[in-house]
Amino acid sequence: MAFGFGRLPENPALKRFIYECAELCEPAKVFVSDGSAEAIRFVREEALRNCEEQTLAAKGHTLHFDSPEDQGRALGDTKVLMPKGKRLPFILTKERKAGLAEMRRLLKGIMKGRTMYVQFHTLGPAGSRFSIPCVQITDSAYVAHSENLLYRQGYDEFRRLGRKAKFLRFVHSAGELENGISKNIRERRIYIDLAGEAVYGVNTQYAGNSVGLKKLALRLTIKRASQQGWLSEHMFIMGVRGPKKRVSYFTGAFPSACGKTSTAMLAGERIVGDDLAYLWVADGRVHAVNPECGMFGIITGVNRKDDPEIWRVLHSPAEVVFSNVLLLPGGRVFWTGSGEAIPAKGVNYAGKWQKGGRAPPSHPNARFAVGLKAFRNLDGNLDEPGGVPVSGIIYGGRDSDTSVPVEQSFSWEHGVVMKAASLESETTSATIGAVGVRQFNPMANLNFLSIPVGRYVKDNLEFGKTAKMAPPIFSVNYFLKGRDGKFLNGKRDKAVWLKWMELRAHGEVGAVETPTGLIPEYGDLRELFRKVLGKEYAREVYGEQFRVRIPENLAKIARMEKIYRRIPDAPREIFRVLKEQRERLLEARKKCGDCFSPA
């Protein structure tokens, strides 16, 4: 077995882990990345050489295809390893001893004749109180290449920490390949070992299942955060411009394909991160840091008009990896919802494609991976060790009939219970399974929890109490429909909701109190629509968008009570807040009926 490039940092536990993996997987050679430009370039070239990626016409652009059966997060194959007899409600688990034995069987000799790539990264900026060192082992150059785009290099941090490095461990194999694509999808397994702070994955390439530092690491950091008194969240971080050159930072939790990236990347605002955030309290205020330095975004629907900065990056010379889009002659790509004319033919993840067939040209969950430094609207505080102060927290899902487009909670406690812990959303193509089913998804994080739901909600409730100035909590809903079944929000309206939240966070606009929260006054929105979007905003539209829908809200409360009654450790505050909201709704119904406008 030959080793190449960097020397292993001086850490006995790290060396033992790497040697044990090499002995188990039996690679022909081991590549140890030292994080240098030369090492990063070598990994990219390896992905092209072994056909996991192919070059495109634009400089720096490459394309990767996943198996038709490996196009989203494999929630059914992803399990948290637990001690014998222990379970986690809502979370798939497996007995730890049996899970590790199965993974050893699957990984035994799986890298014969191939290269094992060993890479070092950090979650969070170097020097941050939440900079977590990680080591990724994989035989997929595509996975290693993606990690280099999405995460900060950590080789020097490992050398600096030496024996003190308490690192997270990730072991992955794409398994047997056919034309550069994972073949044995039926034996796909992704196991999260909480006790060993490790993730094991095999027979998959889709980045959501294979790039360890993304949602797989989230399970590990949620447990750490719960033990240490901070929060590891499925949230973007963005800077919203206010009056007199003020920038206010917001975090936001949205399930996949619910407008999260398009909000974080809104034209005219500043991006810190589009997906994950670590939150802690310092000097009485909540601060947030992005553990990533890149974007792995859904490309479906990205177009020149609605997403100008993403569009520019995807059409400029830069290091970008496209996945599961349509390959056109001449090395160009096309994706559904781009706003361009649908081509006559091409090649996609399923093979040759022709216009007029039943299959879409690109997969609904097609993606792109790119470093954040390619974006002109990148905020200068991306690598600030102290993070950014948080002025507001936003929760949003897919809801056609209940929640208004934007609303502020009455308090931190009300926001955690009614906006965060009661979040529901329709399923999308980002997960494998049925699409369009409304699902309970507290904090948009249910699929990634590694602790009981009740404990997670309690952690959020307690977190706000530790801050002297807890940020206000808001909800947004871009998918509310009118009586005619059409969406009431325009795609660009989110820019107005953000501006209202920014002003509201500083107490510079008023609000109308409703049974479910605080909503904008019509006059403020009319002015913002003119100023931000240059269009008129009719009072009738306001009345329709912000109608209080009593039966739907009461039904939601009933659903939440039913769910949380089944959770043994659900905090009592949940039921008190739900009861208070029901009482407000019933009192309003007596005065105004089942449905009424804020006027």
Q: Which residues are catalytic?
A: 258
- In which element (H, E) is residue 367 found? strand 367-371
Q: What burial class does residue 347 get, using C-beta atoms within 10 Å of its C-beta: 0-12 exposed, 13-18 middle, 19+ buried?
A: middle
Q: What DSSP assignment string belongs to 437-497? A: -EEE-GGG-GGG--S-HHHHHHHHHHHHHT-TBPPPEEEE-TT-B-TTSSBSS-TTTHHHH
Q: Give phi and psi for 96, each to the nearest 5.
A: -60, -45
> Of the candidates 413, 513, 422, 545, which has an alpha carbon nearest to the alpha carbon of residue 473?
413
Q: Pick from 474, 277, 505, 497: which is nearest to 388 by CA?
A: 277
DSSP string, 282-306: ETTEEEEE-S-SEEEEE-TT--TTT
Q: How far apart are the first and last CA of the chain?
A: 75
Report d(CA 140, CA 52) in Å as an integer: 8
Alpha helices in 487-528 (DSSP H): 494-505, 522-528
CB of 125 closer than 8 Å to CB of 152? yes
| Structure tokens, 227 | 């033990």
Backbone CA torsion sign across 294, 300, 301, 304:
positive
Question: Which ranges of 287-401 would DSSP assign to H, the alpha helix?
Answer: 308-314
Helices (H) and strands (E) in the chain, counts: 16, 36
Report the C-alpha gap between 578 and 583 in whole angstroms: 9
Backbone dihedral angles phi then psi of residue 581, each to the nearest 5 degrees: -70, -40
| 302 CB-near residues (< 8 Å, 6+ apart) | 310, 311, 314, 335, 337, 338
For residues 488 and 494, the answer to whether their CB atoms sit within 8 Å is no
Q: Give strand pairing partners of 566.
A: none
Q: Comparing C-alpha atoms, which of 119, 274, 128, 126 is closest to residue 212?
A: 119
**What is the spatial distance between Cα 510 and Cα 523, in angstroms, rounded to a whole number?**
10
Helix axes 12-25, 96-107, angle to 10 degrees: 60
Q: What radius of gyration do the chain's Cα atoms show?
A: 24
How is residue 570 written in tokens? Answer: 């659900």
Which of these, 191, 187, 200, 78, lies nearest to 137 by C-alpha position? 200
Do 448 and 369 touch, CB atoms closer than 8 A? no
